[in-house]
Amino acid sequence: MIEYTSTRNADIRVRSGKAILDGQAQGGGLYVPADIDAIKADWRSIIKKDFRGMAKDVWNIFFDDYGEEKIDELVEASYKDKFAAADITPLVKTGDAWVLELWHGPTSAFKDVALSALPNLMSAARSMNGFTDDIMILTATSGDTGSAAIQGFRDVPGTGIIVFYPHGGVSDTQRLQMVTPDSSNVTACAIRGNFDDAQTGVKKLFREIPQPAAGVSLSSANSINIGRLVPQIVYYFSAYGQLVKSGVIAEGDRIDFVVPTGNFGDIMAGWYALKMGLPVGRLVCASNKNDVLTEFLNTGHYDRKREFYKTTSPSMDILVSSNLERLLWYICGPEHTVQYMKQLEETGEYQITDNELFEMQKVFTGVFASDDEGAAAIKEVFDAEHYLMDTHTSIAWACMEKYRSGDAPAGTVPFGSDAKEAVVLSTASPYKFSAAVLRALGEELTGSDEGNMKKVREITGAEVPAGLAGILSKPVIHKDVIDIPDMKDYVIEKCTK
Ligand SMILES: *Cc1c(COP(=O)(O)O)cnc(C)c1O
């Protein structure tokens, strides 16, 4: 049996359904499996299955209060007919590495893998816990999370979703992905302000209107929910299974994973895969110019008091990586975790001990790459392999090359790896970032997202993903634009309808 506790309060003990409904634990901690040994699995049997079979095995371990029959049903509902690739997350040989394509879902970004699952898990947890309220999800987005959440929650019984995005602050494509879905439980609304205003506004709503209407309670879909993290563990098994099935590695060989990282959710899922028993070599934490995690994994010093850079890999532009708290809890223990998080809040920095750093460095390597290095990787790999990466994947690729050549910033590769192969996680379709990708290739831009996508298509010959091609001609359903102070009334009205 798996029990979840809070990273900030050992007295809290809940089963997975409750943890998924809550999102964050009371007092601000994150839910973690209390006994890491309890997630040990028969990995050899898991990797022999197809993606959905692997998902069922992994979910059954972490979400054991749902029951096998329910999990079967939820996995099918989450992945049936939603992904353009038969095996959901295909692995593609590129040069002397492998690229794990996580972007064949409805919005062409890797968040689809988890956000296809979370709404179904929440909806089922609601009935399991005798919870009769409808759940209204509130999300602030800088672009990608909003559309993936909308696709996940649309038409899921007992749930609704309101997404707030900055007016004029997202790309045309991102906006159309949010304003064209016509499900009755979906609302997308622009706010006059930037992303930080939207996020602060939503956080305030949770404090000010805990209960907007009789029969409705508010929740969030952000990446600290354990219901988003666990579905991401599955593709580490999937990558490994694909390498074994194709005879590239033998069962038991270790492989390295290179993960383009922002909030540390994706790479944390890799650590759980390792703890389940999967032969993972090193987890290379790839950052862009916002290199707070590179410094941390190199020196043990976490320091968010630094300049914030807007890069061409915007989903990795993060200075506080929330999911790192989970790793701290396992490596540094509950007391130090509480202390470090308090220091981070009060002073903006903390320093872990040498022993703790040593433990982390046994598995993690931190490397960063600049926009220019990422762009060079896009061009180099396309010229040599005719394979086009997006701007997030290319950061990971550039980091892999530094890691392999030993050319990383001093001290960032303290341990070698005996791994046979390296897998780069690819988190978005190049079509999603057409303009930046064309620039990296040295091509002229056309002036519109639609034109840029067409141009990428001419260059690669690869079809535009259906979810992106379709939206350009769809009617706009959600036209509201509001001021920040009006968010509260807006939510209450939507919940009372
Ligand atoms: C969210 C996101 C990431 C970062 O993933 P984390 O789990 O936050 O570390 C990387 N690439 C893309 C395209 C994303 O949308």
- pLDDT tens digits for 226-267? 999 999 999 999 999 999 999 999 999 999 999 999 999 999
**393 Cα to the center of ligand 1, angstroms:** 10
Tokens 């919005």 -> residue: 107
- What's the rounded mean pLDDT across residues 4-16? 97
Tell me how many domains the chain contains.
1
How far apart CA 194 and CA 231 sit, in angstroms, is 31
Q: Is residue 21 part of a domain?
A: no
Asked whether the beta carbons of 282 and 417 are under 8 A apart, the reply is yes
How much of the chain, in percent, has pLDDT values that exceed 70? Answer: 98
Hey, whose CA ends up nearest to atom 2 of ligand 1?
315
- What's the rounded mean pLDDT across residues 447-458? 92
If you compute the radius of gyration of the chain from its CA atoms, what whole number of angstroms results? 21
Is a pLDDT exceeding 70 seen at residue 412?
no
CA 12 to chain centre: 26
* Ligand 1 nearest-atom number relative to CA 261: 9
Hey, whose CA ends up nearest to atom 8 of ligand 1?
263
Residue 415, pLDDT score: 58
Nearest to 44 by CA among 369, 279, 308: 279
How far apart CA 293 and CA 70 sit, in angstroms, is 38
Length, in residues, of the chain: 497
* Cα–Cα distance list, 30 to 20, 25, 268 (Å): 11, 6, 13
- What's the rounded mean pLDDT across residues 58-72? 98
* Ligand 1 nearest-atom number relative to CA 232: 7
pLDDT band for position 456 (cuts 50, 70, 90): very high
Pairing status of strand 91-94 against strand 97-101: antiparallel
Is a pLDDT exceeding 60 seen at residue 414?
no
Average pLDDT value over all residues in the chain: 93
DSSP 462: P
Residue type, 266: D
Is a pLDDT exceeding 70 seen at residue 408?
no
CA 477 to chain centre: 27
How much of the chain, in percent, has pLDDT values that exceed 90? Answer: 79
Residue 407, pLDDT score: 62
Residue 171, pLDDT score: 82
Residue 409, pLDDT score: 58
Beta-sheet strands, E only, within 294-388:
301-303, 349-351, 364-368
Q: What is the pLDDT of residues 343-354, one digit of tens each?
A: 999 999 999 999
Residue 405, pLDDT score: 84
- What's the rounded mean pLDDT across residues 362-380? 96
Q: What is the pLDDT of residues 88-104, one digit of tens each?
A: 999 999 999 999 999 99
Nearest to 216 by CA among 284, 159, 178: 159
List all residues whose CB is within 6 A of at least one atom of ligand 1: 109-111, 144, 223, 260-266, 315-316, 392, 427-428
Asked whether the beta carbons of 125 and 20 are under 8 A apart, the reply is yes
Edge-first strand order for the sheet with 216-219 is 216-219, 134-140, 159-166, 186-191, 481-482
Q: Is residue 488 part of a domain?
A: no
Q: Is residue 45 part of a domain?
A: no
CATH number at residue 351: 3.40.50.1100
**263 Cα to the center of ligand 1, angstroms:** 7
How far apart CA 404 and CA 365 sit, in angstroms, is 11
Please enumerate in sequence order all residues whose Cβ is within 8 A of that of 207, keeping only pairs 6 or more positions apart, or say none: none
**CA 232, 464, 466: angle at the middle one, nearest 5?**
65
Asked whether the beta carbons of 481 and 189 are under 8 A apart, the reply is yes
Q: Is residue 261 part of a domain?
A: yes
How far apart CA 277 and CA 125 sit, in angstroms, is 28
What phi, psi does 378 have (nearest 5°)?
-60, -45
Q: Is residue 420 part of a domain?
A: yes
Residue 410, pLDDT score: 53
Residue 444, pLDDT score: 95
**316 Cα to the center of ligand 1, angstroms:** 6
Asked whether the beta carbons of 63 and 71 are under 8 A apart, the reply is yes
Q: Is residue 306 part of a domain?
A: yes
Q: Is residue 287 part of a domain?
A: yes
- From 118, 139, 315, 437, the mutation candidate for ligand 1 (largest count of ligand atoms within 8 A of CB) is 315
**50 Cα to the center of ligand 1, angstroms:** 24
What residues make up the domain containing 98?
91-108+227-434
Residue 142, pLDDT score: 80
**98 Cα to the center of ligand 1, angstroms:** 19
Residue type, 280: V
Query: Which two three-digit tokens encode residue 210?
Result: 């805990």
**392 Cα to the center of ligand 1, angstroms:** 8
Q: Is residue 37 part of a domain?
A: no
